[in-house]
Amino acid sequence: MLKERFLIQELKNKYGLSTKQIIDCLEEEELDGIPITILNDKKISSLEIIVKYLKENKKLKYKEIAKLLKRKSNSLGSTYKKAKTKKPEKFEDQETSPKIPFSAFKKELSILEAICLHLQKEDYKQVEIAKILGKNPKTIWTTIQRTKNKIK
């Protein structure tokens, strides 16, 4: 414990960080993203999957989830309730699965658009993305085209 206190004090002095800023950085490091293997569920939307996963598996508060996804927190409660109704069982933690990093989520993109864009940048083909997300390949094509128009 003495080592940790020394390191925290050193970070405060060297970089002018508050204890809260240091803790926030450490917590963000632990959460490296959303495992792509949980996204293949035709019963619930990508947003519902992610909110449910972060709430139940990672024990995050709505405010923390909103910050990670760059969304407003006021509607995440109802999103979670809908997801829990549609899929009551908890997601299995897939720590070894490739992840969608939180940096992929942008305020101006829908969750599905952000996921598709990230996977495409990682050289996944549209058919592979459709299979990962449990969606029709035409839906993925449309989503990617819409995303390209938004980010021009």
pLDDT over 60 (residue 39): yes
pLDDT over 90 (residue 82): yes
Is the pTM above the cut of 0.75?
Answer: yes
Amino acid at 71: R
Cβ neighbours for 150, distance < 8 A, ≥ 6 positions apart: 108, 109, 113
pLDDT tens digits, 100-122: 999 999 999 999 999 999 999 99
Tally of helices (H runs) and strands (E runs) in the chain: 8, 2
- Domain segments of the chain: what residues? 1-30, 31-151
Residue 78: per-residue pLDDT: 95
Q: Which has the higher per-residue pLDDT, 66 or 19?
A: 66
Q: Quick one: 115 exposed, middle or buried, by C-beta within 10 A (0-12, 13-18, 19+)?
A: buried
pLDDT over 60 (residue 28): no
CB atoms within 10 A of CB 76: 24
Residue 100: what are its φ and ψ, rounded to 5°? -95, 115
Residue 19: per-residue pLDDT: 79
Q: Taking residues 77-95, what's their average pLDDT?
A: 90
Least confident range from 16-25, 42-51, 101-110, 131-140: namely: 16-25
Taking the C-alpha atoms of residue 73 and residue 61, their distance in angstroms, rounded to an integer, is 9
